[in-house]
């Protein structure tokens, strides 16, 4: 049993991580944090270093909370949806936690294609969390 969370350093990514950590404490299960990045031109060295620093902070936060965890930074040319689903299948995840952006100010529906793919194709339930406020 494990919970998988898709993590990016945004308000909704942090909200997803926080909620996933709470769910792991409640269930006494381990947390697998996935930071998925297509890599290639989109990821330069400065950005990669910043990500590494963010993930290091995540690791020590989870250590502090006593939550068994694993952080995987995946840069293998896949979309985040593909990476998350593959890991969820591999470890037979209990569920996946993802962050969702709120509606845009004009109220447009902005459920991204990655979120839709995860919701529809995940082998397990998906908990969708929005950023606070």
Q: Which residues contribute to the site for a copy of itself (CB under 8 A)?
A: 19, 26-27, 95, 100, 102-103, 109-111, 115-117, 119-122, 125-130
Cβ–Cβ under 8 Å, residues 84 and 126: no
99-126 burial: b if 16+ Cβ within 10 Å, else e: bbeeeeeeeeeeeeebbebbbeebeeeb
As measured in angstroms, the least distance from the Cβ of 81 to a copy of itself is 12
Residue (40 or 105) nearer to a copy of itself, CB: 105
- Taking the least distance from each CB to a copy of itself, the nearer of 5 and 37 is 5
Q: Which two tokens stand for residue 66?
A: 């006593």
CB of 31 to a copy of itself, least distance (A): 16
Helix (H, G, I), strand (E, B) or coil at 36: strand
Give the residue with the Cβ less far from a copy of itself, 71 or 119: 119
């Amino acid at each position: 049993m494990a919970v998988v969370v898709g993590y990016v350093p945004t308000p909704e990514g942090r909200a997803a991580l926080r909620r996933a950590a709470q769910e792991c404490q409640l269930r006494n299960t381990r947390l697998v944090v996935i930071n998925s990045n297509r890599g290639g031109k989109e990821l330069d060295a400065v950005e990669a270093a910043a990500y590494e620093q963010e993930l290091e902070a995540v690791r020590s936060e989870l250590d502090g909370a006593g939550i068994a965890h694993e952080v995987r930074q995946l840069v293998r040319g896949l979309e985040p949806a593909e990476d998350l689903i593959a890991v969820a299948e591999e470890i037979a995840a209990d569920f996946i936690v993802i962050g969702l952006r709120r509606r845009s100010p004009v109220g447009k529906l902005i459920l991204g294609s990655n979120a839709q793919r995860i919701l529809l194709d995940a082998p397990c339930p998906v908990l969708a969390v929005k950023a606070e406020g």
